[in-house]
Chain A
Amino acid sequence: MSFMEFINFHLVPGIVLGSVYAVGAIGITLVFGILRFAHFAHGDMATLGAFIALALVTAGLTPWAALPVAMAAVAVVAIVVDKLFYDYLKARPKIMTVMASLGVALMLRAVVQVVFGVDPRTYATGIVRPDDYFGILLRDRELYTLAAVVLIVIGLTLFLRHSRWGKAMRAMSDNPDLARLSGVDNRKVTMLTWAIVGALCAASGFMLGINNELHSMMGWQVLLPMFAAAILGGVGRVEGAVLGGLIVGIAEEMSIFILPAQYKAATAFVLLLLILLVRPRGLLNGKVL
């Protein structure tokens, strides 16, 4: 295998997959860091976003135009889910919210299955030939995916660093009581967090769908890699989630050199156990709950 083959057939797909994981992992890390629980409905929220985009595409929109609409829709869904199913558990041990989120995962998936069925779907049919960029083969959709991920990460980082509400989110992540004392409205920050997390879910689901296919289990199947990415990078750290996502994505694509292809999905699990064993705070020093 030549070097270019290695890049085109393993590294590039790994980076594309990894950046999709990164978008999902940022959402997980925000919930984990700010609201302090593991959100198991994350994957199925991504599935919902992907299918909402599919409905819009069927209605005549182009896929990339459907993305922002789907992001807005899932942002609303996430806020509603929080109000209905998570908010009242605030005073109880956080693990109860984890359980509720598992129930929400099942419910969201059932909704997708009832409305859209269980057969695999795609946004567009037909084979797309990759273009050649100095020997690196990239399809348009892969290029757009990478560009969208970069935009999302830069936008979110700027928002968290410099805007008032972003600072409030970080304050709540560091110390919710102290944040409240300093005048941060925890309820509003929670709502804002869910809106961002919902939008990120939809984006990751959509990108997963456009680079592959859509099916009702797609989100559940990427939940573990996304969690592995979030913990690997350090819980609560956006840049950590990006790093973790890329590592998990590339590791999954490389795993075929040492593991049978069927066990690709086990890579994330191994990475997760390794990081918990060696450095539970993650590569970039996140939180440990």
Chain B
Amino acid sequence: MDLLGLANYAVFMAILIGIYALLALGLNIQWGFTGLFNAGIAGFFAVGAYTSAILTSLPASGRLGGYELPLVVGWLASMVAAAAIAWPIGKICLRFRSDYLAIATIGIAEIIRLVIRTEGWLTGGVRGVTGIPRPFGDLDYMPSQIAYLAIVATLVLVAYLLVERQVKAPWGRMMRAIRDNELAAAAMGKQVEARRLQAFVFGSALMGLAGALFVHFNRSVTPEAIDPMIATFLIWIMLILGGSGNNRGAILGAAVIWIIWSVSELLTDRLPTEIAVQAKYARVFIIGLTLQLVLRFRPEGILPERQAGSPPHR
């Protein structure tokens, strides 16, 4: 591989890492700071992806869409749509322990997948949505990739700063109080359910935005684009390995896991076809095992959550 090819690949990877970093930040709001188990990340991601795709794509016969709205509208709408799905689920399930939320989010992700496959008039069915514009998409390949990377990086930075600010504010302290001792927080007059709902909705909105960034990067989206279980699981590992409760850890985890995942894909693709299929599933086994190892040997992750009032290293 020559130098230019390598640079191309690095930029491509960096864009995807940025998108995964947004997802990991969204999950960090839900799990890291609030202790909510979202097992349907791919569902919120897909809702954001399709919402923006339908609103901004070129007209096509046989499905809704082709409104050619500005990108910003699509992106905002993708956040609103993901939040709108999250709200009723959270409203029903957040009264109970997080196990129930986990079950319900698995269910909602499954139903979103069914809707995307079945409702061809809305999502183009298995053919998906094509003709999705990309900002600076008419530039040459490399400048266009770099421009997109700049957009993604800016959004990740903005999201990071906003979340950091929120977490350092009294709001963040309250959320951690609720996470660590629900009864005590409730006794202090904190509205546990309402606060959890906030965190769940905010986090889901970020996941929706990540979905939108993903489709504008690919310029098309099909139901096969995201394997629900593997996508969700990768993001969980990113957060746990990076360090849940630490936003920098979430971003770092996204980079580390995505690089390992993609490089292992490059390796397995070179294997002879007889064992390539097996190798593909062996990779899935290994990410499952990675989670177990992290949970066992380094549950706080690479960058542990900072404890207020104590130095950052423990």
Question: Which residues from chain A sit less than 8 Å from chain B, CB to CB?
Answer: 32, 37-38, 40, 84-85, 88-89, 92-96, 98-100, 102-107, 109-111, 113-114, 117-118, 220, 223-224, 227, 231, 260, 262-263, 265-266, 268-269, 272-273, 276-277, 280, 288-289
Contacts and interface: CB of A to CB of B under 8 A. Distances in A.
Contacts of B185: none
B110 interface: yes
Interface stretch (B3-11, B163-171, B207-215, B287-295): B287-295
A2 B92 CA distance: 40
Question: What 3 pairs between A and B have smallest CB-CB spacing?
Answer: A110-B285, A107-B288, A38-B99
B157 interface: no
B141 interface: no
Contact of A265 (B114, B229, B281): B114
Given A265-B114, A269-B108, 11 more contacts: A32-B99, A40-B106, A94-B97, A102-B233, A104-B292, A105-B288, A106-B288, A114-B282, A118-B281, A266-B110, A276-B92
A227 B117 CA distance: 24
Interface in B87-137: 92-93, 95-100, 102-104, 106-108, 110-111, 114, 117-118
Contacts of A263: 111, 114, 118
Contact-size category for B:
35 or more
A107 B289 contact: yes
Given A103-B291, A107-B285, A223 B106 contact: yes
B284 A265 contact: no
Contacts, number: 123
Nearest to B294: A103
Contacts of A269: 104, 107-108, 110-111
A98 B99 contact: yes
A273 B108 CA distance: 11
A109 B103 CA distance: 18
A93 B37 CA distance: 12
Interface of A is mostly: helix
A106 B229 contact: yes
Contact of A220 (B99, B118, B229, B292): B229
Contacts of B114: 262-263, 265-266
A84 B291 CA distance: 13
B301 interface: no
Contact of B99 (A84, A110, A117, A289): A289
A276 B110 contact: no
A8 B110 CA distance: 29
12 contacts: A40-B102, A95-B98, A102-B233, A102-B236, A103-B291, A107-B284, A113-B281, A262-B118, A263-B114, A273-B104, A280-B95, A289-B99
A258 B217 CA distance: 39
B254 to A, nearest CB: 18
A114 to B, nearest CB: 5
B295 A89 contact: yes
B238 interface: no
Given A106-B229, A114-B281, A88 B296 contact: yes
B192 to A, nearest CB: 15
A227 B103 contact: yes
Contacts of B92: 273, 276-277
B103 to A, nearest CB: 5
Contacts of B273: none
A220 B103 CA distance: 12
A85 B292 contact: yes
A273 B296 CA distance: 33
Residue of A38, A109, A231 with highest tally of chain B CB at under 10 A: A38
Contact of B278 (A92, A114, A288): A114
